[in-house]
Amino acid sequence: MGAFRGFSGYLEALSSPGLSTVGKRYYKVTAEALGVCGELVHVVRPNIEVHGFDFKPYVHPIYDAIMSRLTNQDQDQEVKECAISCMGLVVSTFSDNLGHQLPACLPVLVDRMGGT
């Protein structure tokens, strides 16, 4: 676990470009960025307990980036599907830390899933 603690110092530098790329105009770039966000969720909060690493500062930036795409009505089908998948992962992984965002997110997620 010591190696992870050393790596955690680089998470900010690695996550910022990925999160900002979610808002790009080109759908292929956006779809790939959403995939990166999904992988970031696994890195930030793995299935094992990592002592000394606080994942909570990453929850809301990841959520906000994906939610901005999920709520966008005018987007490519691939981006829509990636946003749905990624938000599902975010909700299942971070729901205990999303608090008041869940009542806003879940209806949008259900709506997007029904239109797929």
Reading the block at residue 53, the tokens are 């690493």
For residue 31, name the pLDDT band (cuts at 50, 70, 90): very high
For residue 87, pLDDT beyond 50: yes
pLDDT, position 1: 46
Distance CA 69, CA 14 (A): 20
Given a cut of 60, is residue 115 above it in pLDDT? no
Other residues' Cβ atoms within 10 Å of the Cβ of residue 9 = 8
- Tally of structural domains, the chain: 1
Q: Domain range spanning residue 84?
A: 2-114
